[in-house]
Amino acid sequence: MTDTDRRAFLVHTAGTMAAIALIPELEPLRRVRPGLALKVGVVGVGRHGRAIISELQKMEGVEVAAVCDTSPTHLVNVASKTPGVEGFADHRALLEKRKDIPAIVVATPSHLHRAIAVDAIDANRHVYCEAPLATTIDDCRAIVRAAEGVRGRVHQAGLYARSNPIYQLAHAFFKSDAVRELVSMYAQFHRKTSWRFPAADLGKEREANWRLDPAVSLGLAGEVGTGQFDLFHWFRGSYPTRVRGSGGVRVHTDGRTVADTIHATLTWPDRVELGYSATLGNSYGGQYELMHGSNAAIKLTWTHGWMFKEADAPTQGWEVYANRQQIGNEEGITLIVDATKLAAQGKLKEGLGLPYTSLYYALADFVKSIEDLKPPITSLAEGMRATVVSVLTHRAIASGTEQAIPADLLQAT
């Protein structure tokens, strides 16, 4: 276990209380150099782009100074709610005219990421690019190659798990002896929704529903699976070597051909498998990730986390003080961020969950990396690797054939 993992794992207070501690603390992002606003431009201000703007506006000293979108309606909507923001219909015009904006967030449809990200990197801007990084392996590699050798700029992939404080805490447990030998992994994304949206502008329904266009979409494996697959890459420190899957249109028979329900099995070199399920036809269970070990299982739901210890697992002393929750027929030890501080205040149970979204923490890490001029928490290269896995998972589902995931395909060159 690294020194960072040890600091993040367990601390003792008052000689008796054992509680979980985590770095960073759960407070709104504060600027290191107050008075110097970081200007950010957001390219792509549809539903997700507007969510990004909302999270950035919660950060002290961060200013959304410009936005870009090909939809006039989207630009008008943002301008009406963000006084002083300048709108552009072309990202190149934004980069050329607003050289005072050092940071660009790319939140367009996934298949449009390459040109915008590469242009922003070439224009010497800090770049945050949402995941999946792109929808083809070639486009992913082009984005990563554009950033190679660039110094003094932060280039981050929008994979939220590594920034999520509860997931960071769970990662520390996983790297300790708390879980021990990994037995199996499972993840799911279950929602009851159609993924079909009305077009903001007349005649642009296909553009609005690009997720349902088989020519450009990676479907559920790409748009949702990428972020979940990355969690297992991070925890394990390795990548699957093959994937098989299936799927189809089970509920939304509206002419679409992109599957609304998928199942996949990803296999690691040690033959431990990740079972993955995603559907737009049923919401039971929601979204979560689960890791089974010989000592314990860890379940993560993006806002909460639990560890379920096996009856024969050795005790480490602190369990008697831990907060516990009944989850179905199992009793789980809750993973609470800032537990040491809360325990000292007698407010341990008030720490359940997170005060901000996973998106907030990812964007906050981007801003913090810019201020500290340190490498991002999730590099473009990691974004590429997670996306390559999702591309091949989508391919396995669409073709019905097992796909190899060779190590050289996970490299940019």
Q: How far apart, in Å, do the first and last CA atoms of the chain sit?
A: 31
Residue 284 near residue 191, CB atoms below 8 Å: no
Does residue 352 fall inside a structural domain?
A: yes
pLDDT under 50 in the chain at which residues? 1-24, 32, 342, 344-345, 347-348
d(Cα 227, Cα 385) in Å, to the nearest integer? Answer: 11
Helix spans in 304-379 (H):
339-344, 358-372
Max CA distance (Å), the chain: 68
Can you give the pLDDT at residue 190? 98
User: Distance between CA atoms of 20 and 16, rounded to whole angstroms?
Assistant: 13
In this structure, is residue 41 part of a structural domain?
A: no
Domain that holds residue 307: 3-24+162-375+387-399
Map residue 335 onto helix, strand or coil: coil
pLDDT of residue 177: 82
Domain-embedded: residue 59:
no
- 302: CATH: 3.30.360.10
Helix (H) or strand (E) holding 167: helix 165-175
Task: State the total domains in the chain.
Answer: 1
- Which pair of structure tokens corresponds to residue 292? 């089974």
Distances from the Cα of 224 to the Cαs of 218, 386, 393, in angstroms? 9, 11, 12
Q: What is the DSSP string of 99-147?
A: TT--EEEE-S-GGGHHHHHHHHHHTT-EEEEESSS-SSHHHHHHHHHHH
In a domain, 137, yes or no: no
Confirm whether 178 is domain-assigned.
Answer: yes
Is residue 7 in some structural domain? yes
pLDDT for 318 equals: 64
Question: Is residue 266 a part of any domain in this protein?
Answer: yes
Q: What is the pLDDT of residue 410?
A: 94
**DSSP assigned state of 269:** T
Tell me if 125 is assigned to some domain: no
β strands within 251-317, DSSP E:
261-267, 273-279, 287-293, 296-300, 305-309
Phi and psi at 158, nearest 5°, equal -85, 65
In tens, the pLDDT along 151-189 reads 999 999 999 999 999 999 999 999 988 899 999 999 999
